[in-house]
């Protein structure tokens, strides 16, 4: 009997993505698996049920997941839905376990093997599975467009019969996947662009996109491609340099965010007060508390001279292609765990080991387990302290911006 892989319909407000698109459903079938879909799951991404060929369309969500061997989703499912899954089922979705302890407990207690897509390791071999990057690519692109429609001026220089209009000044803060895509998009639209990141190695990437790099003289390169926490002295030095660039900008896009963590503060109220009248900030970290003082998630607010936009779930605004990229990320992960139509979990494989959050009734991710079950006894504590929590997005592993 072939494995049944089922995708559910997303229930979160404003979520328009789906974890499975028709072209990927066909490729999954070629792995020797059967495919099922909750009715209407792809409608918000412009994939009607009829476009899923040789796919079972199921109305009852709990019946769907109860019969599945592998369940696919975008957002973390509810603990109640997890309880409808049979023991040994594999769940693949974004989970953010530190923020969803009750969900993790349900996954553990019902013996669900859960692959958290935000945990895909940032290694070359796993790039095709890196859903954070694929989604951030689209988010960075859309952020630049969002900024342009909220500005009271155009981005490019333009010559008219009554004189010339100057190009807008755009500053992108945080040159990870989303930041580089935002920088590239603003440049293509004709703006004069600058990029800033606490990791000096991103300088060449900014230059490759035709942007200037704001060098503060501070190197905060940390482990795993993330930035380390700045000291008080470093923060003061960075602020001193950045304040001048912030004051000159017509549009600022901030992107510093780490999934499941509070976003670092990049722009303070006094810096906003010194901005141009009519300037705009697109705070892509709004869902994590925001990079700017005064940001409100899901709202557009006026703070002194500036308009601060705090968008949430930007990839969902481009749901068709966001779903396509995400589904392909999942397909590439499935190809690692399905061999000859059967499940094959190689726990020595770095991708599998680091992406699994729960397996066989246990929480397998140390950081999530510490939040859900409490820290390990002192005798079991590691001899070396863990690295400081990252504060900005990781640098991309390829020249192409990803998100």
68 within a domain of the structure (yes/no): yes
Q: Of the residues 316, 341, 362, which one is the last residue of a structural domain?
A: 316
344 an active-site residue?
no
Q: Are residues 65 and 150 in the same domain?
A: no
| Residue 149 sits in the same domain as residue 166 | yes
For residue 204, indicate whether it is catalytic: no
Identify the active-site residue in 34, 93, 119, 127. 127
Classified as helix, coil or strand, 359 is: strand
Q: Is residue 171 part of a domain?
A: yes
Two tokens, residue 211: 């942007």
Q: Are residues 32 and 81 in the same domain?
A: yes
CA quadruple 142, 144, 150, 152: dihedral positive or negative? negative
Q: Examine the domain organization and report whether 309 and 328 are in the same domain.
A: no
357 found inside a domain: yes
311 & 347 share domain:
no
Task: Determine, yes or no, domain membership for 108.
Answer: yes
Do 172 and 305 share a domain, yes or no?
A: yes
Rounded to whole angstroms, the Cα distance separating 286 from 15 reads 16
The verdict on 250 and 360 lying in the same domain is: no
**Number of structural domains in the chain:** 2
Domain match, 303 and 329 both: no
Q: Same domain, yes or no, for 299 and 367?
A: no
Q: For residue 133, indicate whether it is catalytic.
A: yes
The verdict on residue 337 lying in a domain is yes
Which position among 44, 133, 135, 323 bears the catalytic label? 133
Cβ neighbour number for residue 389 with a 10 Å cutoff = 14
Q: Which of 142, 226, 249, 319 is catalytic?
A: 226
For 22, 327, 359, 382, the CA distances from 7, given in Å and listed in that order, are 11, 10, 20, 39
Q: Are residues 57 and 46 in the same domain?
A: yes
Same domain flag for 266 and 285: yes
Domain assignment of residue 396, yes or no = no
Cα 261 from chain centroid? 12
Q: Which of 276, 291, 316 is the last residue of a domain?
A: 316
Residue of 69, 130, 250, 283 marked catalytic: 130
CATH of residue 12's domain is 3.40.50.720
Q: Specify if 393 maps to a domain.
A: no
* Candidate list 29, 49, 98, 122, residue with the active-site label: 122
Distance (Å, rounded) from C-alpha 199 to C-alpha 224? 12
Structure token pair of residue 116: 């958290």
Q: Say if residue 305 is in the same domain as residue 281.
A: yes
Structural domain span for residue 144:
137-316
Q: What is the pTM of this model?
A: 0.89
For the question of residue 124 being annotated catalytic, the response is no
The most distant pair of C-alpha atoms in the chain lies apart, rounded to whole Å, by 77
In a domain, 392, yes or no: no
Is-catalytic flag, 226? yes
Per-residue model confidence as pLDDT tens for the chain (403 residues)? 799 999 999 999 999 999 999 999 999 999 999 999 999 999 999 999 999 999 999 999 999 999 999 999 999 999 999 999 999 999 999 999 999 999 999 999 999 999 999 999 999 999 999 999 999 999 999 999 999 999 999 999 999 999 999 999 999 999 999 999 999 999 999 999 999 998 888 999 999 999 999 999 888 766 555 566 778 888 888 899 999 999 999 999 999 987 778 899 999 999 999 999 999 999 999 999 999 999 999 999 999 999 999 999 999 999 999 999 999 999 999 999 999 899 999 999 999 999 999 999 999 999 999 999 988 766 554 444 444 444 334 433 333 333 3
The answer to whether residues 192 and 172 touch, using CB atoms and an 8 Å cutoff, is no
């Amino acid at each position: 009997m072939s494995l049944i892989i089922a995708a559910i319909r997303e229930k979160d407000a404003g979520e328009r993505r789906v974890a499975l698109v028709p072209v990927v459903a066909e490729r999954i079938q070629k792995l020797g698996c059967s495919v099922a879909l909750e009715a209407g799951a792809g409608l918000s991404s412009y994939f009607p049920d009829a476009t899923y060929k040789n796919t079972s369309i199921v109305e009852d969500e709990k019946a769907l997941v109860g019969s599945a061997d592998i369940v696919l989703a975008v957002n973390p499912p509810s603990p109640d839905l997890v309880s409808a899954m049979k023991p040994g089922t594999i769940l693949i979705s974004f989970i953010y376990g530190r923020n969803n302890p009750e969900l993790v407990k349900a996954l553990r207690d019902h013996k669900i093997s859960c692959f958290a897509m935000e945990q895909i390791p940032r290694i070359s071999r796993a790039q095709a599975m890196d859903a954070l990057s694929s989604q951030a690519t689209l988010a960075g692109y859309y952020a630049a467009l969002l900024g342009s429609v909220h500005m009271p001026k155009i981005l490019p220089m333009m010559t008219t019969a009554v004189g010339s209009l100057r190009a807008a000044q755009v500053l992108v803060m945080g040159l990870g996947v989303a930041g580089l895509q935002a920088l590239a998009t603003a440049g293509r639209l004709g703006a004069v662009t600058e990029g800033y990141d606490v990791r000096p190695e991103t300088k060449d990437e900014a230059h490759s996109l035709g942007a200037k790099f704001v060098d503060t003289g501070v190197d905060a390169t940390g482990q795993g491609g993330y930035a380390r926490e700045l000291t008080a002295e470093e923060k003061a030095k960075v602020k001193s340099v950045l304040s001048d660039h912030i004051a000159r900008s017509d549009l600022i896009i901030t992107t510093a965010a780490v999934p499941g963590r509070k976003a670092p503060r990049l722009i303070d109220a006094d810096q906003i007060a010194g901005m141009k009248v009519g300037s705009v900030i697109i705070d892509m970290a709004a869902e994590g508390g925001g990079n700017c003082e005064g940001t409100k998630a899901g709202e557009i607010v006026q703070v002194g001279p500036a308009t601060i936009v705090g968008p949430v779930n930007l990839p969902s605004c481009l749901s068709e292609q966001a779903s396509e990229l995400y589904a392909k990320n999942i397909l590439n992960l499935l190809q690692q765990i399905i061999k000859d139509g059967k499940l094959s979990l190689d726990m020595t494989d770095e991708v599998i080991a680091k992406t699994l959050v729960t397996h066989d009734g246990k929480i397998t991710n140390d950081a999530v387990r510490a939040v859900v079950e409490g820290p390990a006894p002192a005798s079991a504590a590691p001899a070396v302290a863990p690295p400081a929590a990252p504060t900005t997005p990781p640098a991309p592993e390829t020249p192409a911006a990803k998100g």
